[in-house]
Structure formats: C-alpha cells, structure tokens
Structure 1
Amino acid sequence: MESFQPLLNDPIATSRVNTPSPPQVAIDLSALFYSLLFPSTQLNGTANELEKSVFRRVEAALASPQAIAERVLKLPAQIASLDKKLADENTDIKTLLALIEQDPVLSVEVLKLCNSPLFKRSEKEITSLQLALVQLGREQVRRFVTTAMMRKVIEVKPIYFRRFGSQIWRHSMQVAYLASELTDENPDSAFLLGLLHDVGKIAIFKLLLEAFKQAEPGEQPCSSLFSQVMTAKSLSLSSLLAGSWELPTLFESELSRLAVVDSKPAGGLAELIWRANLISECSMLLEANKLKPEQLGRLLFDAGLDLETFEELHQKLVQF
C-alpha cells in the first residue's frame, strides 16, 4: 500500500491519472504479474531443458485437452449438475440442501465464504446452509458452491509452490468478483467465467510439476519465453478445458476470444473478464509494491477506469 499513498496524496499526480491520456510506453502487465507468481525467478532469454520439456507437454495438451481434463485438471463431477439445479427456480430448497450436504467439506467451505468479511451481509453469523439460502438467496449461494468446488481444482499441494497456487486462486476469486460486480447482464456466468479464466495456468503449472521429476536438481523455470507461454498458451488451454468439461459453449467461446494475444476483446463477457483481469493484476501488484504510479495510470487508461473507482475496488480486493 505504500506505493499507492503518494499517488493519492499528490494532487498533480492524481489529476494526471484521473484525466486519461494515451499511454506513452507499452507495459507488459503479464510479465509483471509473472514476477509476482515466481518472485525468486530471474528471467533470461534461453529456455532450459525443464522448460523445453514443459513446452512439449503443453503442445500435447493443446492437441488433446480431454486427456488433461481427465488426468491433470479434473473438474468435480457434481459441479455441472449442482450448478444447474441451483440455477433452476423449480428445484426446492430441501433438494438443494441435500445435494450440498452430501459433501461435508463443500458445506464448510460455503459457510466460510458466507461469513467472510467481503461477503458477510450482517453482524449475525450464518451457521447453516438453510440460513444461507434464506438470507443470501440461491444466486449468491450458487456462486459460493461453485467457488468452493473450483478451489479443489486449483489447489496446488507441493509446499514449495503453494504460493503460486494461492496467488492464482486469489486472483481468480478477484476476477470473478469484479466480473459479477461490473455487469448487470448475467452476473452468474460472469462470476464462473472469472473463476475459470486461469485454469490453463494451473494445468501448465501441474505439467511443470510433472516435468520436475525428470529435471536436473535445482533447475527452475527462468526464461522470458516460459513466462510468455504461461500467459499466452494458458488462455487457449482454459478455453479447451471448458469444452472438455462439457460446460455451456458460451464459456469456451468467450475464453477463446480472450486468448487472442495482444488484443482487447470487443464486447461480451470476454471484454468484461479482460477488464476484471487487468484491475485484479494491478491491485495485486500495487499491494506488493511492484507497480509504479505512472504504470498504474497508463494501465487504468487501458481499462477505461479512473483512479477513484480503482481505489474503491482495490480496497475491496485486498480483503481476498
């Protein structure tokens, strides 16, 4: 937060950011965010054997995403059916409760989300799923159920890489939240798409963990090329995984539009996720003191966002 305060306290700087002007120098936000995911990595230009192994695995994954969906990043079988029932107004509350309570871990995770500072509606704690459905409504509970299930997919267990998994999960949660807040059209689909947009990164990272088993001791991903692959190829893989998981075609098509490198999608959910992603990455980098005020100004220009609005969103995002 220290890097943010001078910008807010300097009226000249604030005026400069609040008055959008064309960016003078392109900013590689993806590279900055990659440095946040792997803070100890010093990037160079040459791919090592570990990275080459991962590249081969990624190309194979893009050619056969179904194999990745079944072996590397399996979507919980009940997520699609449960989400469909939660979306159906004709499904009664008793049936919904029975379905959710079949998974005790899921029930606990949903209640945690209900009582988290960001989503809590009142001072009174929600102690049961039935109370959650009554107080929050099925739409909000639907988002919480989807969130809890997706967390199982994104979980990264090796202790040395938990930071990566936790940062990607936090980012996905932020993008989902922003996407649902920034639209009045189909916020539930926007929320789920926000959760899904980075599953390709998780798939590639899990392929990296497999490659580590055959790598030389101490070998790490450290080339700028790997950073680019993690960014560009992951979005294509996210789209293909959505198709392999047999989710509604809307998700695969919008993620596919999002995967066009160096191009801002025009309209639809893809543009919404693009903006939410940019805001979240800016917020997380700013929180980690890895974003300069002038860089923030140019990125907000790209997102069509003024500083005051960003500040309000940033204060909410740091709670995740």
Structure 2
Amino acid sequence: MVVRFFKKLFNIRDRNEQIKFTGQTAAEKRQHTKQQVTEAIVVTPTQAVESQLDLSALFYSLLFANQSIADSGIANNLERRVMQDIELALSSPQAIAENVLKLPSKILELDRKLADDNIDTKELIKLIEQDPLLCVEVLKLCNSMAFKRSENDVTSIQQALVQVGRQQLRHFITSCLAREMIDIKPIYFRRFGAEIWRHSMQVAFLASELANAEQCDIAFLLGLLHDVGKIAIFKMLVDAFYQAEPGEQPSSTLFKQVMTTKSLTLSALLARYWRLPEHFEAPLTLLANTNIKPDDEMTLIIWKANIISECSMLQQVDKLPQKELIVLLAQVGITEQEFAELHKKLLEF
C-alpha cells in the first residue's frame, strides 16, 4: 500500500513492458527481482530496534558543529551536565514547558478555527492578518521551492488562500507558529536548530501524505511536534555551552543514544503538560517506546516518516552506509528507487 502511494505521489511509472527471450515481461522480471530482495532482507525485531537507534544516533551527528571529533563511549563534562538536566526535565516537565519550551498559545486555537468550514473566508483572512509577522512567514513558505505552485510570487494571504487552498494554508500557519518554539540565538540556530526544524517539516509533510484524508491535518501537526523533546534538549545544550570548557563538544555515542531515547519521552511529557488532545498525546507516548515497531496506525505513520526523513538527510551528506539504508527501507516498506524519488522531493525543504 505504501509502495503504491509513493508511486502515485511522485508519478513513478513502470517502463513499457518488453518481451524477452525468457518469455517474461520487464515488469515480471522486476517483480521477481523485488521478491528476491525482499526474501534476502529479513529484519528481526532486534535488528529493527538496533538499526533505528543507530540511525537516530547517527542523525545527531548532523547537528553538531565539530564533525572531526571521534565518537567515544565516555561522556565528557558538557554531556554529563546536559544528561543531568534531561533527567530533571523528565521528572519535572512543567519547568521545561514554562521556561524552556513554551507552546505558542494561539497554535491550537488558530488551527481549530482554520479547520472550521463555517468560518467566512473574509473573517479568516482578517484573523490571520492580525499577526503581521505570521503573514510574512506564511508568504515565505508559499514562495519556497518546496511549495511554490506558479512562477508568480504569492503576495497576500487572500492570494495564498486561492492558490494553495485552505488545508495547505492551515499547514503553513501551523508550521510558522510551531517554529516560534525554536528561538535559539542565530549562531546556535545555524548549528542545529535549523536542521531540527527542517527535519520536523519533512516529517510533517511525509506524515500528512501517508495519512488518509480524514487524518492528514492531525498527522501534519503531530509530525511538527514529535521532536519538541529534541528542541528542548538542544536548548539545554546551548545553555550548557556557556559553562563548558573551550572546544568541548557533544561527541560520545552514549550521549547520542541518551538523547535519542530521552527526547521522545520528553516530547510525550510535554504534550501531556500542554494538554494536547488525546490524538496527539497517545502517539507521542507510543513513539517513546523505542524497543518496538508501533502497530497503532497514526504512530506508525510518524515512525515511518521520521525514518525516511533521517535517511534522506544523512544520505544528502553521505553519512548513511548503503547496507544500513537497505535494512531501514525494508522496515518502512519502500524500495531504493522509491526512496530516491522521495529523497529528491525532500531536498527542496
């Protein structure tokens, strides 16, 4: 089903079938080859868990400034300080939600109004235009490579509503409001905040495309929020840099694994404190259990979207070995060709 979806989404069509001397068509041969590959790649539950954790830990290497530092199993002083802060955050998410990572108060309210078909278009536009900075950010998204639909720039919210549609505009506004949570200073934002946000946008996009029509809006916002734990931890890391020894960087394997597992738990705890609706909190709680592949429909969608995005971002910088990529794609249920087409699309983010 996922394979058919991506073929439809990215217009991946089979080549014209040609009869070979074997009597098999090209499509039959490809199907036979695909079956052989599928049979060869048998991913055990243990391999699935390990490969996902390894992928997430490797993904953190994109977010650190100094890539020349060799990984070590021993945490340095900076890492130990941040890990202590993480444990405190897990025991008291209220302090994090109020002082470190505040959910914009209007994000759920405005999202709810955008979902109401009974609200008049003029009233909706007036509501959005009350926030000039929000309007600017929304128009930037409308005119970005990933979403631009014509050669002419979108210059007003009314034009955006006509050109991209109400549902897409809702996604843009939700994205811009959620982005307010990453208010890290520019030097640090360039280091890792920008990559976290890019990943969140990719997961939101993929999740909304994988979900059915009734769930796509929930999937989009959930994709944006699934990594709020990472954002909170990186804000702790930024604060810790001020007290760190010169040149000290997060580089140990232990630290990356801790961040991988703890950030998902923190995301779920923050969602609970923010009193997000159950359809947001429950998937985040299930995602925090990294020992199993989720079977809940919405949780599985976010899980798959997260893996695809991490694979894409790592492949872009040539940091994901082909062998590991094949195992991960087998878990997600797409072929290398389909991933290549999807990777091209994600490069636009």
Q: Same fold (TM over 0.5)?
A: yes
Match of 2:12 in 1: none
Deviation sequence 1:218-272 (CA, Å, 0-9, x none): 3222222210111100001111112222221211111010010232111321110
One-letter identity of the residue aligned with 1:189: I
Q: Which moved more, 1:15-24 or 1:103-112?
A: 15-24
The residue aligned with 2:93 is: 65
What do residues 124-180 of structure 1 show as CA deviations (whole Å, max 9, x unaligned)?
332110111123222111100011111121243251452211111111111110011
Q: Deviations over 1:75-99 (max 9, x none)?
A: 1121111111111112222222222
User: What is the rounded CA distance, in whole Å, between the counterparts of 2:316 and 2:224 in structure 1?
Assistant: 21
What's the CA shift for 1:203?
Answer: 0.2
Say whether the 8 Å CA contact 1:179–1:272 is kept in structure 2.
Answer: yes
What does 1:203-218 correspond to in 2, within 5 Å?
203-218=232-247
1:116 aligned onto 2:144: yes
Report the counterpart of residue 312 of structure 2 in structure 1: 283
Corresponding letter in the other structure for 1:92: D
Could you tell me how far apart the structure 1 residues matched to 2:99 and 2:164 are? Answer: 36
- The reply on whether 1:130 has 2:158 as its aligned counterpart is yes
Q: After TM superposition, give the deviation of residue 111 of structure 1 in Å.
A: 0.9
User: Are 1:113 and 1:144, in contact at CA under 8 Å, matched by a contact in 2?
Assistant: yes
Partner of 2:303: 274
User: Highest Rg: 1 or 2?
Assistant: 2
Q: Distance in 2 between matches of 1:138 and 1:54?
A: 42
Give the Cα–Cα distance (whole angstroms) in 1 for the partners of residues 115 and 282 of structure 2.
Answer: 21
The letter for the 1-side match of 2:348 is Q
Tell me the TM-score normalised to structure 1 length: 0.90
CA distance in 1, matches of 2:35, 2:144: 32
Matched residue, 1:85: 113
Q: 2:72–2:251: 8 Å Cα contact kept in structure 1?
A: yes
1:34 aligned residue: 60
Alignment of 1:52-201 (within 5 A): 52-160=80-188, 162-184=190-212, 185-201=214-230
User: CA 1:284/1:293 → structure 2, altered by over 3 Å: closer, same or farther?
Assistant: same
Which residue identity lines up with residue 108 of structure 1 in the other structure? V
Q: Is the contact made by 2:268 and 2:285 (CA closer than 8 Å) also made in structure 1?
A: yes
Match of 1:22 in 2: 42
Query: Which amino acid is the alignment partner of residue 328 of structure 2?
Result: L
Deviation at 1:292, TM superposition (A): 2.2
CA displacement, residues 37-60 of structure 1 (integer Å, 9 cap, x when unaligned): 223443211122222221221111
Partner AA of 1:36 in structure 2 = L
Tell me which moved more, 143-152 or 207-216. Answer: 207-216
- Report the secondary structure of 1:19's partner residue: helix
**Contact residue 283 and residue 314 of structure 1 kept, 8 A:** yes
| CA–CA separation in structure 2 for the residues paired with 1:17 and 1:128 | 51
Are the counterparts in 1 of residues 188 and 238 from structure 2 also a CA contact under 8 Å?
Answer: no
Q: 1:204–1:234: 8 Å Cα contact kept in structure 2?
A: yes
**Runs of at least 5 residues in structure 1 that lack an aligned partner in the other structure:** 1-10
Could you tell me how far apart the structure 2 residues matched to 1:144 and 1:41 are?
Answer: 38
The SS at the match of 1:263 is coil
Name the counterpart of 1:3.
Answer: none
Tell me how far 1:16 sits from its aligned partner: 7.2
| Shift of residue 210, structure 1, vs aligned partner | 1.7
Deviation at 1:293, TM superposition (A): 2.2
C-alpha deviation, 1:23, in angstroms: 4.3
Secondary structure class of the residue paired with 1:264: coil
Distance in 2 of aligned mates of 1:312 and 1:273: 20
Distance 2:109 2:262 in 1: 29
Question: Runs of at least 4 residues of structure 1 off by over 3 A?
Answer: 15-18, 23-27
Partners of 1:81 and 1:33 in 2: CA distance = 33
Counterpart amino acid of residue 164 in structure 1: F
Alpha-carbon distance in 1 for matches of 2:189, 2:255: 17
CA distance in 1 between counterparts of 2:298 and 2:36 reads 26
SS across alignment from 2:151: coil
CA RMSD of aligned residues (A): 2.1
- Which residue identity is paired with 1:180? S
Q: TM-score, length-normalised on structure 2?
A: 0.83
Distance 1:143 1:18 in 2: 40
Cα 1:182/1:71, change in 2 over 3 Å? same
SS in 2 for 1:113: helix
Structure-1 separation of matches of 2:348 and 2:116: 31
